[in-house]
Structures are given as C-alpha cells and as structure tokens.
Homo-oligomer: A and B are copies of this chain.
Amino acid sequence: MSKYNDLYNHIKKQINDGQIKTGAKLPSIRKAAALFSVSRTTVQNAYFALEADGYIISEPQSGYYVSYHAARPTAENAETEIRTPEFDFKSGGADNESFEFDVWRKYMKNALRHSERMLSYGEPQGEEDLRTVLADYIREKRNVAASPGRIVIGAGVQSLLGIFCSLIENRGTVSFPDKSFIQGAGLFSDYGFDVRYRYKDAEIIYVSPSHMNARGDIMPNKRRIELVNYSAQTGSLVIEDDYESDFQYNSVPVPSLYALAGGENVVYLGSFSKLLLPSIRISFMVLTDELAEKYKKNIRRYNQTAGKTEQIALCQYIRDGRLKAQIRKTRRFYTSKAKAFALLLSDEFKNADVEISENALQVILSLPFSKDPGIFQKAGIAVSVENFDGKNITLIFNTGAVGQKNFSSAIKALKSAIY
C-alpha cells in the first residue's frame, strides 16, 4: 500500500473513533509531514483523498477541518444506525415521475421472449446488436466515432474500469484532478496504480467533464482544449467519464473530449443510470484502437457482467427512439424541478443566495448559519454541506430523487432546523 493511503487510513480511523472531533483543525501540510515523517506530497494526497471522501473540508487561507460528515456512524454500524432520511437531497437516484416504467417493462417482457438468446452465455464484450446501436447513438449525440468492436459493455463503470486496468501493463500514475469519483481512485489503487489528486501530470487522467464535483459544474471549453492538447503533447491517456452529459442548464453545449481529441488517447465512458433507472446496470466503454486490440487478444479472460435481458431490452429501446425521447423529457423534467425548488427556497429564505447548478440537477443554498450541521440529518434531511465556517453554510440539494410534491414539507423541515 502507498504511504498516502496509510496516512489516509490513519486519519480516517482517528476521525471515526472520535479521537479527532468534528470541526477540529488538522495540522497544516508542512506540520503533518514532519509529524508523520512523510513528504508534503504524501500529506497533500492524503488530505485530498479525505476531502474527496467527505471526511474533511478545506477552508481557503485557513486550513483543513474535520467535516461534519465525519460525525456519521462508521460503515460497520451503518446498517443499524443510519435511518433513511425523509427528504434525500444527497441521492443520485431517479424520480419515478421521470421514467415511463410501463414502457420499459414492455421492452423487458419482449426481451424475455428471446428464449434462444437467454439460454446461452452472453458475449463477453456485450451483445453485438446493442454495441452496434450504441456506436450510432454516441456518434450522433456526442460525436464519438467508434466501431462496435471498440465498445465494451459492463454492469457499471467500476466493472469496466477493472477491465481497463487489466489492459494497462505499466501500472504508473493516475490522477483525478477534480477529486471526483473516489470509488474509481480506490480501484486504480488496488490495481497498483499511484493515485494522485489535482495534478495533471500523470500517465492517466480521469475526468467527469459534465459533472466535475458535487455542485455539478461542467468543464469549460477552454479547459477541455487545454486537457486534450496536454494529452496530445505528453501521451497521457484521458478517461472521459461522460456522466450526466445529457444535463445542462446555463451553459452552451460543450463537445466531448473524445471528439475534441479526434478519438486519440481518450477512453470514453457512458452510462444510463440517470436517464433510465438507477437499478439498470448498463454502462459502456469506448477503448482506443490499441486497447481494443489488447482486449480482443485476451477476450477469453473476460465475462460479461451486464444482464442479457436488459441488454436486449435497451437495444430495442434505443432503436425505437425511446432513449432520445427520454433524454428530452428527463432534461425538461429535472430542470423544471430544480427551478421550482430554487423558487421556493428564495421565497422562504430571504437572506440567502440561491443558485441552480450548471447541469440543472442541483440547487445551491448559501445563508448565515451557526448551529451544528448535524441538525439536518436529525430533521430527516440528507443534504451535502459544501462549505461551513461556523457563520455561513453552503448546502447542495440534489433535487433529483425527491418528489416535487414533497418540496414544501422538505422546506418546512429545513426552516425549522435552521431557525
């Protein structure tokens, strides 16, 4: 295990055990480096990872503090202690209003009629007809031009990243400049990669340009071009996790990194959890020519993880234009929800700043607040704290999974918690 990982685990344990209390300031990077006899880079990486994981928050010009999140029970006790929040503004789940479940059921039932196909193992790479349909779909939608032979289907992005890692012989450096997707960082670390945060200079750079952080910021065009140029110059491989690219609100449409780079040095990842159902575990990965060739050489080593029934259903669903219609509908639906929630917040909290995120899935509320942020959880509200300095707090509400009919009672609960 790497040193930063040891330090990360050490501090995490101290936080979980209550040896470092919520709100306590951590030693500065320089002091911690001396204290633990490690380099400053090691401390920095450990702090970034703790921050990305919600254990600490950084206050510019001040230092690192134990986040109120850390007060949550540790995972061991999680099953018994965490109660389901009444209003879950942290969930990435979907709103049942946004999805025509009956239509999907129909496609699943049709897929279940393909008896002969259901009776054999699936293609390790994913069903060929689905890969063909996906190739057309991403070419049209994101200008990602790739043959079906370069597409690998899997149950979730993590399974696909496992395959990706197995194709990279030299386990070098991988960076997560936006500190997004900590699960991916853990996976790369398990495969022996040296995981970094914030730094661009790594052999592999992992980004989610359409959902860079909890706030849902979208990577600006300028940074996209910079990144693609950097990759072309240095030979770094960019993994573009196009998570939530279908959602945009304020900004002008942005091209995919894959398209900007002309498909060179970019591995593209896509999934459908926000568009369809979170319980449908189908993601896909577009490999570079070189990696696709390696994959095919070793294809006997891989098994398909995504269910065949759902692959067959999704293929027909896309063919019939249902996915496109669903994207339009979902985008309108979530944008109108976020707007409605923002309006209610503005009405109820006169001294607050209310903002809608770039991807129109989050609403950000900043207002004076000096209580224990744990009160939100006690009030049955799960919400992300982006910033809290004892005087002001910034909360991020993911309005996706909370039904609009519950907005006013959620805001009532929020008000009585705050005042």
Binding site for B on A (CB under 8 A): 1, 53, 74-76, 78-79, 91-96, 99, 101, 105, 108-109, 112, 115-122, 149, 154-159, 162, 165-166, 169, 171, 182-183, 186-187, 190-192, 273, 277-281, 293, 296-310, 401
The answer to whether A156 and B121 touch (CB under 8 A), given A187-B166, A309-B279, is: no
| A-B residue pairs in contact (CB < 8 Å), sample of 8 | A53-B300, A76-B296, A119-B279, A183-B300, A187-B301, A279-B308, A279-B309, A307-B310
Please tell me which one of the listed residues B108, B300, B401 contacts residue A108 in the complex, with CB atoms under 8 A apart. B108
**Bound CA–CA A69/B78 (angstroms):** 52
- Cβ–Cβ < 8 Å partners of A122 in chain B: 278-279, 281
Please tell me which one of the listed residues B95, B190, B279 contacts residue A117 in the complex, with CB atoms under 8 A apart. B279
Instruction: Specify the chain B residue showing the minimal Cβ separation from A192.
Output: B192
**Bound CA–CA A298/B158 (angstroms):** 15
Q: Tell me whether B303 and A183 are in contact (CB under 8 A).
A: yes
- Cβ–Cβ < 8 Å partners of A304 in chain B: 156, 281
**Bound CA–CA A45/B172 (angstroms):** 26
7 tightest CB-CB pairs across the interface, nearest first?
A279-B308, A155-B305, A307-B307, A166-B190, A121-B278, A186-B301, A93-B120
- Cβ–Cβ < 8 Å partners of A109 in chain B: 105, 109, 112
The answer to whether A91 and B105 touch (CB under 8 A), given A293-B76, A305-B156, is: no
Q: Tell me whether A120 and B91 are in contact (CB under 8 A).
A: yes
Q: Tell me whether B120 and A279 are in contact (CB under 8 A).
A: yes
Q: Tell me whether B309 and A108 are in contact (CB under 8 A).
A: yes
**Bound CA–CA A115/B280 (angstroms):** 13
Chain B nearest Cβ from A214, distance in angstroms: 14
Q: Tell me whether A112 and B105 are in contact (CB under 8 A).
A: yes
- Cβ–Cβ < 8 Å partners of A105 in chain B: 109, 112
The answer to whether A307 and B190 touch (CB under 8 A), given A75-B299, A121-B278, A301-B183, is: no
- Cβ–Cβ < 8 Å partners of A307 in chain B: 155, 279-281, 306-307, 309-310
Chain B nearest Cβ from A359, distance in angstroms: 19
Q: Tell me whether A120 and B1 are in contact (CB under 8 A).
A: no
Q: Tell me whether B93 and A278 are in contact (CB under 8 A).
A: no
Q: Tell me whether B101 and A278 are in contact (CB under 8 A).
A: no
Instruction: Specify the chain B residue showing the minimal Cβ separation from A167.
Output: B190
Please tell me which one of the listed residues B75, B293, B302 contacts residue A300 in the complex, with CB atoms under 8 A apart. B75
**Bound CA–CA A273/B158 (angstroms):** 23
- Cβ–Cβ < 8 Å partners of A191 in chain B: 190-192
